[in-house]
Amino acid sequence: MLFSLLFFGIRPYRAAQQAIGENIIDIVKFLRIKADFYLPDTDIDANYHKVISQQIHVAQHQDAVRELLFKTRQIVNESTATGRKLLFTFVETVDLFENITASYYDYELLRKQYGHTGILDRIGLTLKKMAAELDEYIGTLRQIRQGDAFNNWFRRQAEKDRLQGPPQRDNAVSAAN
């Protein structure tokens, strides 16, 4: 408990950042499931069950993120750039999810009317590409965060080395030269 409080005091936005990232990953999964409706080999009834299950999961996760953001006094009350970015990102992810959810079609009828044109395959693949781009975005954010951690460690090591002075030569190495 003490460690959690200490960590939260040092990095108050970390839990919200992680929760928003996980929420985006959930939305990507939802988008992929929705894209499957446009592919001719997808069992529509089975896919509806997947959609409903993932939709519930995303909604629950968004509720958790909402609670983290709006019940965390530091994020809501402070007008910091990080807090504003978190709120903006969350609002945008909610909008994205609502737009994806709002698109409902009679997929059987779509397949009958447009299946022979090949356009449904293109739509499905385009949606999967969009999901892949969101996945890539999340992956890039992770790499940046890890890169920042590495760069910070590297800077600390360089500063530590600078304060300690030049490395001391070992006597055995000195005698060999």
Which tens digit of pLDDT belongs to each residue from 30-56?
999 999 999 999 999 999 999 999 999
Which tens digit of pLDDT belongs to each residue from 85-111?
888 889 999 999 999 999 878 999 999
Give CA–CA dist 9/11, Å, rounded.
6
Query: What is the chain's length?
Result: 177
Tokens of 148: 């920042």
CA dihedral 157, 162, 164, 169 (to 10 degrees): 100
109-134 CB burial, b ≥16 within 10 A, e <16: eebeeeeeeeebeebbeebbeebeeb
Arithmetic mean of pLDDT, 12-26:
85
Annotated domain spans of the chain? 11-164
pLDDT score, position 160: 65
Residue type for position 1: M
Give the chain's mean pLDDT.
80
pLDDT score, position 137: 81
